[in-house]
Each structure stands twice: as C-alpha cells, then as structure tokens.
Amino acid sequence: MAEQVFITGMGMVTAIGNNVQENLQSLRLQRSGLGYTRHIDTIHKAVLPVAEVTATTQELAAMAGKENVPGYSRTTLLGLVAMQEALRSAGINDAREMPAAFINASTVGGMCDTEKVYFDILDPEKDGAFLQFIDTLDCADCTQRIADDVGIREYVTTISTACSSSANALMYGARLIQQGLVQRAVCGGTEALTRFTINGFNSLKNIDKQPCRPFDQQRNGLNLGEGAAYLVLESASLVRQRQSKVLATLSGWCNTNEAFHPTAPSPEGDGAYEAMKEALAMSGRTADDVQYVNVHGTATLNNDLSEGKALERLFGDKVPRFSSTKPFTGHTLAAAGAIEAIFSVLAIRGQLIFPNLHFSEKMEELNIVPETQLITGVPVRNVISNSFGFGGNNASLVISQYEG
C-alpha cells in the first residue's frame, strides 16, 4: 500500500509578506499586494499593476545570507528565502541528514537579470563583464543553487509547465514518496517579475490596467506577481520516526492535459473538470466533502468561464465556497501552485475562507459567485487547489485536515 504524504513544513515570500505568518496576516486583513513596480525598468511602470515583493534584490540577498555573493538571481534569492523558512518550519536543521528530493518550478529562471544585459551581448564594445549573468538564465540554475545551498543532492529536478508548474512539482514529489524512492521531498516554485513576462502577457491582451477581478462579469485580465513557496512533504513512516508536526495531508492530486489550444482552456472546462474529479477520487473524498476551492481564477475572460463551468459540472448545484487569491499576490505563474497550496493549508488550520477581492458583478454565464468577505470559524477539512497552465496543462490538489 502506498504511503500517505504529509505536509510538515512551509515557507514563502510574496508581495503580501516575507514569510508564511505575514502572508496570513495580510489575507486576514484583506490587504492586497498589487501596485506599481519599483524594481523593473519598463515602459509599463506606471500603467500595469503588478504584485511585487517589496524587498530589493540586495535586501533579499541579505535575508538569504548571500550578501555580496555573485551569481544569485532575484529568482534564486526569492526561492532561497522561502526554502530556508520551509526547512525551519519542518524542524530540519540540516537537509543533508537524510536522502531527499528537491523539485523546483520556474518559468523565467534568471531572466530577471539576463534581460538587463541583452543589448550588451550584441555590443562588440562591451568588455564581457555581463557574462557572469548568462549562466543564471536557465531555470535549472536557480534549482541547483538552492539545492547546493541547503545540501540536497540525491534527487534534484526542475519543472516548467507554465502556471501549473509548482502544483506539478508537488505531485512529482508526492509520487516519489509513494513509490518509496525518497522519504522526504521539498517541492514548490520561484518566480521573479521580468519585462519579458510583462510584455508577453500584455501582447496577448491578458493584463488588466486595474486590479484584477476574478469571476466578475467585468473582468479584463490578470495582474502579474512574483514570489516563491515550498512545502516539505514527508512519508507516514518518516513522520512517525521523526515525530514530525503534521500541518495537513496531501491526499489527492491529478494532472490532465486537454491540448485544446496553445494558451486557452477548453470552453467547457474539460481538463479542469477531469483534474478535479480524479484528484478527489484519489483522495478518497467525495464532492460533498469539499468545503473550499482555491480556484485558479486569473480574471482572464476564457479561464474564469472555463473553470466556472468545470466547477458547476463537478458539484452541480452544490458548488462549495470558492475564491481566487490572485488579487492578493498577483499571478505568480510557476510559483502560484505552491503559494496557493500553502494558502489552502492555512485555510484548513485556521478554519477560514479567504475573500475574492474586487468582485462586484456575477458572470452572466454562471450560476455561482465567489466569496467576497473573509469567513472565519467555519469547518474546513478538505480544499481543492487549482492551477491551470498554457497548453491545457491542468493540475488539481486535494489538501486535507490531518486526522492523526
């Protein structure tokens, strides 16, 4: 029988906080991280809202203990700050104490730094000092640097499946544990804002010039964000051996790929429906057992309609409370799945449901509306956390209250 997979540690940094507790406080206070960039030199600086981590890259280096150490991109530093908190949270003083896996997700890698020297590469007059940044471009560079820094060497890999990346990283780590290949896996993702990302999504006409409004009739696109989050997964055997404090159970998961379109989901939400349905089946729970869905909820025209239809197909006229937390953190792309998995754990442990900010008008195609106020003191035992990426790559996680 495959081992259960437990969450024993969490660490994160986003636009609404530099650690898990600060994020929870901002969620409780309904304090959004959306604003205008202070760190990126872009023509959209005062036009397109983003959710930017407040710390400068130099301040992140100090937080990570990497002041004046070359080769650490902003993406890597965000990840290292979150990783260090995750290990502390799990009571792990030395990650080298036992074989472990590190499954990291990113879509931009070190592009936040390499894009600044792009024209230097083309300029024969430049002395080549910019070459120190080139190695950081590869998404795997930040993975390897974080792994080397904390001492995980046994199984290290990088996943890049757009917005579902870190949800898929969690699935991969959980599968390694279930198959007995490792007893512990640290999984998540890290993503820094870049001009390339902002320009790319803007060219798709997918960015709103106002704070995003998921599941609203007047929604007009997403707001990009940056951040990092990691969860420590451990087998039931290791939890018993270490007497680990269990935060929640990763009870079910599923990835589907509908391949409907390079960027758009299927209109009827086929992939999202299958991902949620199969994740629930794996968890041993039924639709009636779900109290909250942290939806992907990007506030783009196609995504919210597709996901809403999938919710109505799966739950019928009993759709549980749901909300998108992206108006708090922005859409953090590869890091979103892990960030929102942590929010799901916080919902269970705090018995609360987070509000869907900026909502004002029900979508005419749907019969459901998201929660718009913080709800406290309600039983939250099982949460579905959705992360849906380009190409129809759909990932759903079922996170459950620990029953031990």
Cα 244–chain centre separation: 24
Give burial (CB, 10 Å; 0-12/13-18/19+) of 204.
Answer: middle
Q: Which of 291, 389, 377, 372 is nearest to 332 (CA)?
A: 389
Q: Count the Cβ atoms, other than its own, within 10 Å of residue 205.
A: 10
For 232, the 3-state DSSP assignment is: strand
E strands in 47-203 = 50-51, 101-105, 155-159, 184-191
d(CA 216, CA 297) in angstroms, rounded, equals 10
Is 387 within 8 Å of 164 (Cβ atoms)?
A: yes
d(CA 327, CA 376) in angstroms, rounded, equals 19
Residues annotated catalytic, as ranges: 163, 296, 331
Give burial (CB, 10 Å; 0-12/13-18/19+) of 340.
Answer: buried
Q: Which of 247, 336, 351 is nearest to 297 (CA)?
A: 336
Angle between helix 336-350 and 165-178 (nearest 10): 70
Is 309 within 8 Å of 269 (Cβ atoms)?
A: yes
DSSP bridge partners of 102: 156, 186
CA distances from 120 to 108, 113, 127, 128, 130 (A): 20, 12, 9, 8, 7
Please calculate the CA angle 178-143-11 and round it to the nearest 5 degrees.
70
- Token pair listed for 297: 């909820």
